Amino acid sequence: MTFPRIRVSGGAVDRGESYGRQAKDRILRSVEIYQGLFLKYGWTWEAARDHARQYLTPIEALSPQYIEELGGIARGSGLPFNDVLAMNVRTELIFAAKARLAREQRGECSSFAILPARSVTGHTVIGQNWDWLPDCADSLVVLEAVQDDGPAFVTVVEAGLLAKTGMNAFGIGLATNALVTDADAGESGAPYHVLLRAILDAQNVTDAYRVLLNHRRSSSANYLVAHADGIAMDIEAAPGDFGRLFVWTAEHGLILHTNHFRSPNLPVGDVSIWAMPDTQIRLARLNDLTAPTDTPLDVDEFQRILADHANFPDGVCCHVDARRAPLDRSATVGSVIMDLDERALWLASGTPCVAPYERLDYADFLRAPAGIRQTATVS
């Protein structure tokens, strides 16, 4: 199985409609999956759709074009707008309930960024394993967007959602991890997946940071942002404003993150450690696999690291644990590695121990917009 590539262009409405048409079958699969998952957390589909509307104002504050994109996706796929909106705020619905229910859940993602000083090629490399509901592999796509009003970008994402892991024409790369605290209550604020979309419009790491600084956030999350300039920043975010952002920079040319806050003295309770108990084990394993600290790393080495099975089935390469109920199961549904200098993306469509990495070259597609300083050599 290889995730389909969806290419769109034009203004926000046109891009959304084209995305909706081309990915319709997978978007409908996303709806089917989330109807079942929302019900597990006490949301009927109708209630989830209604509740999702409280996020419209924060989304519009990020950019009205994101509302237009969502509307276009709905029209293109033939779905009601609120269905598409509910999927794009699924983190706010699910993780708020997760914090309230305080019950152990599936593991999530393992991410990394390599800076030039630690890279075999001298390039900036970023990526992650994406661990989520195994059925979601049926809904993933590679969305390739040329915007009239922003940089071209590529994102590996659940069909119908605006963005997830990806990179843009300015040289920005983005990986991410779910986090959850006792402050995740589903209150109105900028939704996680829309914030990811906004970061993929950023020109540099400072702009990406401003997205999180300037908008009150509804949910906890980790945002690992890098640039082809050779800069990377990891931003742990709890719900709230700029006072609940915690920044990490590279140590020995490397940033690693899983699904818990590394920051001490949090003003909120980190439910992540309890809800996803494999997170600390995965981070320790990543540290072991990247030692010693002066060892150069490259794409090939991280392909091996991301296929690691220590602590199976709850390893860096995560597999289904048949002892768990179906909606509590997790697996690595995809693995992404991006060389920001080359604008190249390696994608394993499934667990990377089995699924081969396919190289997708975007050197021509992700050219910096006219008038913007080209900070990295695109080969």
How many residues would you count in the chain? 379
Q: Give residue 378's pLDDT.
A: 34
How much is the pTM?
0.95
Query: Six-digit token pair at 25?
Result: 């079958």
Could you please report the per-residue DSSP string of 197-238? HHHTT-SSHHHHHHHHHSS-BSS-EEEEEEETTTEEEEEEE-
Strand ranges (DSSP E) for 217-324? 221-227, 231-237, 245-248, 254-257
3-class SS of residue 44: coil
The span from the first CA to the last CA of the chain, in angstroms, equals 29
Is the model's pLDDT at 102 over the cut of 80? no
Q: What is the pLDDT of residues 299-327, one digit of tens each?
A: 999 999 999 999 999 999 999 999 999 88
Phi, psi (rounded to 5 degrees) for 117: -65, -25
Phi, psi (rounded to 5 degrees) for 45: -60, -40
Distance in angstroms (rounded) separating the CA atoms of residues 84 and 74: 6
Q: What is the pLDDT of residues 58-89, one digit of tens each?
A: 999 999 999 999 999 999 999 999 999 999 99
Q: What is the pLDDT of residues 232-266, one digit of tens each?
A: 999 999 999 999 999 999 999 999 999 999 998 89
> 299, 296, 287, 292: which is closest to 118 by C-alpha?
296
3-class SS of residue 297: strand
Query: Six-digit token pair at 171?
Result: 């040289």
Distance in angstroms (rounded) separating the CA atoms of residues 61 and 59: 5
Q: Give residue 94's pLDDT.
A: 85
Distance in angstroms (rounded) separating the CA atoms of residues 280 and 282: 5
Residue position matching structure tokens 């991890």: 177
Distance in angstroms (rounded) separating the CA atoms of residues 321 and 234: 30
Residue 168, Ramachandran bin (φ over 0: left; ψ between -120 and 50: alpha; else beta): beta
Query: Six-digit token pair at 310?
Result: 């220590």
Please count the other Cβ atoms lying within 10 Å of the Cβ belonging to residue 328. Answer: 14
Domain range summary for the chain, segments of one domain joined by +:
102-361
Is the model's pLDDT at 377 over the cut of 50? no
For the domain spanning 102-361, the CATH number is 3.60.60.10
> 337, 334, 329: which is closest to 352 by C-alpha?
334
Q: Are strands 172-178 and 331-339 parallel, antiparallel or unpaired?
A: unpaired
Helix axes 24-40, 90-101, angle to 10 degrees: 20
Is the model's pLDDT at 124 over the cut of 60? yes
Could you please report the per-residue DSSP string of 130-176? EEE-GGGGGGEEEEEEEESSS--EEEEEETTSS-SEEEETTSEEEEE
**In the chain, pLDDT over 70 holds for what percent of residues?**
93
Average pLDDT score, the chain? 94
Distance in angstroms (rounded) separating the CA atoms of residues 138 and 134: 8
The number of angstroms, rounded, from the C-alpha of 313 to the middle of its chain's C-alpha atoms is: 22
Q: Are strands 165-168 and 172-178 parallel, antiparallel or unpaired?
A: antiparallel
What's the whole-number mean pLDDT along residues 120-144? 98
Say if residues 335 and 315 touch (Cβ distance below 8 Å). no
Distance in angstroms (rounded) separating the CA atoms of residues 123 and 45: 45
Q: What is the pLDDT of residues 140-192, one digit of tens each?
A: 999 999 999 999 999 999 999 999 999 999 999 999 999 999 999 888 999 99
Please name the amino acid found at residue 347. Answer: L
Residue position matching structure tokens 């152990």: 104
Distance in angstroms (rounded) separating the CA atoms of residues 303 and 152: 26
Stated as kind and residue range, the H or E segment containing 49 is helix 45-52
Q: What is the pLDDT of residues 6-51, one digit of tens each?
A: 999 999 999 999 999 999 999 999 999 999 999 988 899 999 999 9
